[in-house]
Amino acid sequence: MADAVRTHRWLRAVVGSLALLAIAFHATAVVVREGEAVLVTRLGRPVGTATAPGLHWKLPWPLDEAVMLDMRRRVYETGHTEMLTQDKKNIIVRTFVVWRIGDPLAFTQAIGAESGAPGGGAEAKLDGLLTNAAISTLGGHQLAALVSTSAADLQVDKIESELLAATAPVALASYGVAIEQIRLERIALPDENIRAVFEQMRAERRQFAARYRAEGEKEASRIRSEAELEVAKIRAQGLEEEARVRGESAAEVARIYAEAHRLDPELYRFTRSLESLDKLVTRSTSLILRTDSEPFSLLESKAR
């Protein structure tokens, strides 16, 4: 009986000790998960921040209190804001920003731990900061930097970089928010500006068309000049070749005539006289000439 009582007391002591250890562990241990951070406050004053995943320790409540913060990236879209460009054109701009908690202590002090949840006060702070930066940045650029038919005029990437440079340091120092990316999600125009923008785009297209037309005409003129020069060159070569062939033919004819005259002078004169008559006399030709002169003596001889 005494052994049973001692065993029961021992079990009660063990169970009580384990319960006390569990309570102490729960009161002092802080488990930090991936993508989270824990801000530890002592009597309402921050004393440390745990950002590495794993097990961390604190004093039990009510001395220390652990505040969980979501450190993951978030995306916030601003509203549509109307603003002026450098050339006094009204535009409507909507941006989005990728942000996260960069400094848990500064974030909690400036915005509050409950604002670490999506849709909290951090995005309200970011909205005002981004709107002011967009008005200032876009006011230093022409409308063509945002809307243009020429890729060389567009400066959207530069404008986004300027927005990031203007907002990221302020957001981190003032609110503990790390801004990683800012993009212009939408750019629209008020109804009264659409006609002016279309006219500007048409004027740019007309300039491009005139330039391309002038370049085409210049190229066509060059091609025509080269073609005409080549034609003149070929024609000159043809005339030269023709003259050469004619000269060679005439020389060959003269040689043949000379050879014929050498072999039979009488026959040569007779054939030449016949050729002359063939060229001079036709069926409708009427001639009154002496018959004793060449080549008409042939006619007299034929009549006899």
Going 221 to 222 to 225 to 231, the CA torsion angle's sign is negative
Both 104 and 184 in one domain: the answer is yes
pLDDT in tens, 117-130: 555 678 888 888 88
The two structure tokens encoding residue 251: 């020389």
- Same domain (yes/no): 26, 46: yes
The answer to whether residue 225 sits within a structural domain is no
Same domain, 110 and 185: yes
pLDDT at 115: 47
pLDDT of residue 303: 43
Assign residue 151 the CATH number of its domain. Answer: 3.30.479.30
Answer yes or no: do 122 and 41 share one domain.
no
Say whether both 20 and 101 belong to one domain. no
Residue 179 pLDDT: 92
Pair (144, 59) in one structural domain: no
pTM higher than 0.75: no
Domain end residue (candidates: 125, 155, 189): 189
> How many CB atoms are closer than 10 A to CB 56?
18
Q: Is residue 256 part of a domain?
A: no
- Select from 98, 68, 70 the least CA-distant residue to 178: 98
Both 91 and 185 in one domain: the answer is yes
Instruction: Establish if 53 belongs to a structural domain.
Output: yes
In a domain, 298, yes or no: yes
Q: Are residues 127 and 172 in the same domain?
A: yes
Query: Which of 50, 77, 78 minimizes the C-alpha distance to 64?
Result: 50
Q: Which residues of the chain have pLDDT under 70?
A: 1-6, 8-35, 39-66, 113-120, 191-198, 261, 264, 267, 287-304
State the pLDDT at residue 98. Answer: 92
What local confidence, expressed as pLDDT, does residue 44 receive? Answer: 59
Question: Does 297 fall in a domain?
Answer: yes
Domain range enclosing 286: 274-303
Which helix (H) or strand (E) segment is 93 a member of?
strand 90-101
Q: How far is CA 99 from the centre of its chain?
A: 28
Q: What is the pLDDT of residue 112?
A: 72
- Which of 171, 189, 207 represents a domain boundary (last residue)? 189
Q: Could you give the number of structural domains in the chain? A: 3
Domain match, 57 and 83 both:
no
Cβ–Cβ under 8 Å, residues 51 and 30: no
Q: Which of 40, 70, 100 is the last residue of a domain?
A: 70
- Domain-located, residue 47: yes
- The distance of Cα 7 from the centroid of its chain, to the nearest Å, equals 83
The helix or strand, by DSSP H or E, that contains position 50, with its residue range, turns out to be: strand 45-50
Residue 40: what residue type? V
- C-alpha distances in angstroms, 253 versus 155, 247, 276? 83, 10, 16
pLDDT score of 116? 46
Whether residue 183 lies inside any domain: the answer is yes
Same domain, 11 and 93: no
Specify whether 78 is located in the same domain as 182: yes
Establish if 253 belongs to a structural domain: no
Same domain for 83 and 170, yes or no, is yes
